[in-house]
Amino acid sequence: MTRLVHHGRQGRVGLVTIDRPERRNALNLQVKREIVESLQGHAADDEVAVIVLAGAGGCFVAGTDIAEMASMSPTDHLRLDTDRVFQALRQSPKPVIAAVEGYALGGGCELALACDIVVAAEDAQFGQPEIRVGIMPGAGGTQRLLRAAGRHKTALWTLTGQTIPAREAYASNLVSQLVPPGQAVERATQLGLQIAQMPPLAVLSIREALRLGADVPLDTALALERRLFERLFDTQDQREGMQAFLDKRKPAYRGR
């Protein structure tokens, strides 16, 4: 069976590329399984610090494969674990950056929103058009849009299924950074290389604070942030980082 997802590495950045151009990289079970395998491979590789997720052929992911999904029952979704790829992204031990060119629709939009950072081409299109085929977003679309853009924007987009131009997505906090068309992967990789130079335990702690703090009361989130902050003062990287600052030299972080 020909692989539909390729993985490689550029420096300390792991690359995961969906390559199903004839279907605009639509997510079928094989693509989902291979994305999970690639994420797991990079997670186990000590040389990889950050992962970039992209699509080949000028398109991120135009949606979930409706031809495969149309006849599925609720039991099929449970048995086949069709949500596993989104869980794998949410639970990734390493930061994941989505590099979006072209379309990120339906499951593709949810795939991007599950990442830590979203870099998008200025002419990219996002959206949750599931309502147009009789269903609704089921892998974070309503909830991640709600938390980023608010109720009224989310209602507009999910109840009409209309596409969201990249500039509007950026203004609505769905996109971290806009780049000229064709440069999303390059910029995402640059950001990955930049993050890879940071102290690993601090990266891990910041991601934990962001992930767990978003949906709890502010006082709880602040307490969590403080405990994570204090915990880092028991690391070699904290001592190295501060001493390097005082010595006016580049720090050598070891993740300890």
Please state the domain extents for the chain: 5-196, 200-247
| Predicted pLDDT of residue 215 | 86
145 close to 118: Cβ distance less than 8 angstroms: no
Q: Chain-centre distance of CA 242, in angstroms? A: 31
Residue 77 in this model has a pLDDT that exceeds 80: yes
* pTM of the predicted model as reported, rounded to 2 decimal places: 0.95
Task: Decide if 5-196 and 200-247 have a common fold.
Answer: no
Span 18-38, pLDDT tens digits? 999 999 999 999 999 999 999
Span 180-198, pLDDT tens digits? 999 999 999 999 999 999 9
Amino acid at residue number 183:
Q
SS3 category, 178: strand
What's the average model confidence in pLDDT over 90-98?
Answer: 96
What's the average model confidence in pLDDT over 167-178?
Answer: 97
Q: At CA 178, angle to CA 175 and CA 184, rounded to 5?
A: 100
SS3 category, 123: coil
**What is d(CA 166, CA 180) in angstroms, rounded to the nearest whole number?**
11
Give the CATH class of 200-247.
Answer: mainly alpha
CATH of 5-196, one of 3.30.1490.20, 3.40.50.300, 3.90.226.10, 3.40.50.2000: 3.90.226.10
Question: What percent of the chain shows pLDDT beyond 70?
Answer: 100
80: pLDDT confidence band, cut at 50, 70 and 90?
A: confident
Residue 221 in this model has a pLDDT that exceeds 80: yes
Amino acid at residue number 105:
L
**What is d(CA 256, CA 237) in angstroms, rounded to the nearest whole number?**
6
**What is d(CA 41, CA 63) in angstroms, rounded to the nearest whole number?**
24
What's the average model confidence in pLDDT over 103-111?
Answer: 97
| Predicted pLDDT of residue 194 | 97
Amino acid at residue number 107:
G
Helices then strands, counting H and E runs in the chain, come out as: 12, 9
Span 132-158, pLDDT tens digits? 999 999 999 999 999 999 999 999 999
Residue 1 in this model has a pLDDT that exceeds 80: no
**What is d(CA 57, CA 126) in angstroms, rounded to the nearest whole number?**
17
Look at the alpha carbons of 194, 200, 206, 210 in this order and tell me if their dihedral is positive or negative.
positive
81 close to 109: Cβ distance less than 8 angstroms: no
48 close to 10: Cβ distance less than 8 angstroms: no
81: pLDDT confidence band, cut at 50, 70 and 90?
A: confident
